[in-house]
Amino acid sequence: MEAITTQISNMVMQLDEPEQVLVLEIIKRFLPDDVATTDDLDIIVTAREEYRLRETINEEEINWG
């Protein structure tokens, strides 16, 4: 698999930027859009720790107005 990834990367590097943008958009179509990013996962870990330590704010305490 690494050989294919390297080959794709080398081919994309030979393209001008506008074509690279097009290839990027095409590749994005093959990826699910509901996958958590590293930042998402870090935020989830932090939120769980705050919840565990009871450092969260009760919904009734929030001034939504």
Q: Which three-class secondary structure state does DSSP give residue 16?
A: coil
Pair of tokens at residue 62:
């929030």
Mean pLDDT by 10 residues, the chain (65 residues): 91 97 95 88 96 91 88
Q: What is the pLDDT of residue 1?
A: 65
Q: What is the pLDDT of residue 9?
A: 95
Q: What is the pLDDT of residue 27?
A: 94
